[in-house]
Amino acid sequence: PVVVGIETSCDETGVGVVRDGELIGEALASSMDEHARFGGVVPEVAARAHLEALVPAMELALERAGITSADVDAIAVTAGPGLATALQVGLAAAKAYSIAWGVPLYGVHHLAGHVAADALAHGALPNPCVVLIVSGGHTSLLYCRDLVNDPIEHLGDTLDDAAGEAFDKVGRVLGLPFPGGPAIDRIAKEGNPTAIAFPRGLSRPQDPPFEFSFSGLKTAVARWVEARERAGEPIPVADVAASFQDAVVDVLVDKSLAACGERQCGDLLIVGGVAANSRLREVAAERAAAAGVRLRIPALKYCTDNGPMIASVGHMLVVSGAAPDALSLGADPSAILQAATLVPA
Ligand code: ATP
Ligand code: MG
Ligand code: FE
């Protein structure tokens, strides 16, 4: 089947076309430049940008796929979580295409999309697998038996900030451009990761093994920088960035491999925007190999939000024979990840 996916949960307008599990066309527009001067994504600005970008992105994705709307078998769309106004634009468009093209509509959980992104480059997901989701708004360790057919088990979640959020906040403290994640990744390459010993959250033996906490680390970085500023000393930005990044990466990789051990699971997936981090990719590859765990991370451009990842979930749903959604499907800005689709409260 040919499945079109639409993603509009944040600042990225993404459309992807998947045929029989293979990505055949895509388009992506971002309104990040419009948000950068505010130091964060402005929901109303994002929604308006989606409204302008969506139809051209759809036309471009179909053209690149070499198909017309008549070839499409189903529409999948992010129904949550995300910014309410941004989600509404994608959902309204998906319903309109569903009616106009006479094809079924599938509402998809955004985070399931991040997981399914990996199938586009690396083939069917390993069942079962341990999944580390590290994105702008979420950080969770999951045990996935079968993404579209079984409930998703949460082994642990962050108790405060998401990993991406910590990168973005520390980026701000260091005066780097928004979003902080890519900026820290870049500048950390010139720094010494052992220059400053920042705390590794919840990693003592008595701590919950699979939960995360990054707000203490973020505060520690802010205090360290403030102390330097008060003393009138220059801030070694690259060293702070590299030391902070290593503190995050250490905890993420340690807990992910511990979860693999506890579940006796030989397959680990790392997904979401922070999975684009070069140091995380490097350290995870090294330690997973040493632990005898097979590691999969989506190709770089499919770590952050994109349309193909939603098409990928949609394709899995269609193939598994899942029932489509009614046109009354609503957006849920704070949907919890329990399944590949939204689960009514
Ligand atoms: P969510 O998926 O939780 O709803 P989101 O969709 O906004 O949130 P993503 O698009 O998955 O998040 O990822 C964006 C986050 O990834 C941002 O916090 C960004 O700083 C971070 N990020 C992107 N690239 C990198 C990188 N190279 N290193 C570290 N963090 C990165
Ligand atoms: Mg984004
Ligand atoms: Fe995301």
148 a known binding residue? no
**27 pLDDT exceeds 80?**
yes
List the residue whose alpha carbon is closest to atom 5 of ligand 1.
Answer: 136
What Å distances lie between residue 35 and 32, 49, 153, 178, 249, CA to CA? 5, 11, 35, 9, 27
Percent of the chain with pLDDT over 90: 96
Number of alpha carbons in the 13 Å side-chain half-sphere of residue 82: 31
Q: Are 91 and 121 in contact (CB under 8 A)?
A: no
Mean pLDDT, the chain, integer: 97
Q: Name every residue whose Cβ is closer than 8 Å to that of residue 304 and which is 6 or more positions away in sequence.
A: 12, 273, 276
Question: Treating both helix axes as pointing N-terminal to C-terminal, what angle do 215-230 and 163-173 enclose, rounded to 10 degrees?
Answer: 10
**44 pLDDT exceeds 70?**
yes
Which alpha helices (H) appear in the chain, and where do they start and end? 32-36, 43-65, 84-101, 110-122, 163-173, 180-188, 215-230, 237-263, 278-291, 307-320
DSSP tag of 166: H
With a 6 A CB cut-off, is 185 part of the ligand 1 pocket?
A: yes
**110 pLDDT exceeds 80?**
yes
- Taking only the tens place, the pLDDT of each residue in 168-209 is 999 999 999 999 999 999 999 999 999 999 999 999 999 999
33 a known binding residue? no
Candidate of 135, 138, 185, 249 to mutate for ligand 1, largest count of ligand atoms within 8 Å of Cβ:
135
With a 6 A CB cut-off, is 14 part of the ligand 1 pocket?
A: no
Q: Among residues 249, 152, 271, 262, which one has the least CA distance to residue 201?
A: 249
**Ligand 1 atom nearest 111 alpha carbon:** 2
**38 pLDDT exceeds 90?**
no
pTM above 0.90, yes or no: yes
ipTM: 0.98
Q: What is the pLDDT of residue 345?
A: 64
Q: Are 301 and 274 in contact (CB under 8 A)?
A: no
Percent of the chain with pLDDT over 70: 100
Determine the average pLDDT of the residues in 7-18: 97
Q: Name every residue whose Cβ is closer than 8 Å to that of residue 265 and which is 6 or more positions away in sequence.
A: 128, 129, 130, 143, 259, 293
With a 6 A CB cut-off, is 279 part of the ligand 1 pocket?
A: no
- Taking only the tens place, the pLDDT of each residue in 252-292 is 999 999 999 999 999 999 999 999 999 999 999 999 999 99
14 a known binding residue? no
> Residue 46 — very low, low, confident or very high, per pLDDT cuts 50/70/90?
very high
DSSP tag of 263: H
